[in-house]
């Protein structure tokens, strides 16, 4: 994504749903996923000047999402929305709400689907979080194993092995919970 197109509105419109979907795979419930996704977008907004446009944007974004979700899972704490603010180029205080347009798209609409999706989610939630993360990044977000390797801070071959193992585990879990 070229730097001149890198606005919080564009990031939210282009990436909110996939970040939410990724977070949902890690934490497994809508309210927490929404809160963590909001926190990720705030962190992206606050750290946008640290992003190197010469690099691919998705791995940078998903690394923030991964770290935020893991921090949340460890601490189960949230940042009060009313405390968020930053200084703009002119030194004026700017709140997060002032800079984001209301997109009227609710992430939970993505998950209002049929019973088969619920069975898949149940099976996926039975897989360890590190393997679940690799599956979600590759299958749902289309990231390469090299990109995933950078996000999870693991060697490329370790990521590939974990992916393959997690596919076998997922198949076994789906078989076990499928109606006979």
pLDDT for position 3: 45
**Structure token digits, residue 75:** 């601490």
Instruction: Count H helices and E strands in the chain, helices first.
Output: 8, 2
pLDDT for position 115: 65
pLDDT for position 91: 61
Q: Does residue 171 carry a pLDDT above 90?
A: no
Q: Domains in the chain, please, with CATH?
A: 1-112 (1.10.1740.10), 113-180 (1.10.10.10)
DSSP state string for 23-77:
HHHHH--HHHHHHHHHHHHHHHHHHGGG--TTS-HHHHHHHHHHHHHHHHHHH--
pTM (two decimals): 0.55
């Amino acid at each position: 994504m070229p730097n001149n197109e890198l606005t919080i509105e564009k990031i939210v419109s282009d990436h909110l749903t996939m970040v939410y979907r990724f977070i949902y795979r890690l934490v497994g419930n809508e309210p927490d996923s929404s809160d963590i996704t909001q926190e990720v977008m705030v962190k992206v907004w606050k750290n946008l000047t640290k992003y190197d446009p010469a690099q691919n944007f998705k791995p940078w974004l998903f690394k923030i999402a991964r770290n935020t979700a893991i921090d949340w899972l460890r601490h189960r704490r949230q940042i009060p929305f009313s405390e968020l603010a930053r200084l703009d180029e002119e030194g004026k205080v700017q709140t997060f709400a002032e800079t984001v347009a209301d997109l009227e798209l609710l992430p939970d609409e993505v998950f209002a689907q049929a019973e088969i999706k619920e069975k898949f989610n149940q099976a996926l939630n039975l897989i360890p979080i590190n393997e679940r993360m690799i599956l979600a990044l590759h299958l749902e977000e289309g990231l390469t194993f090299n990109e995933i390797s950078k996000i999870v801070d693991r060697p490329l071959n370790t990521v590939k092995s974990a992916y393959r193992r997690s596919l076998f585990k997922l198949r076994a879990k789906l078989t076990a919970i499928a109606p006979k």
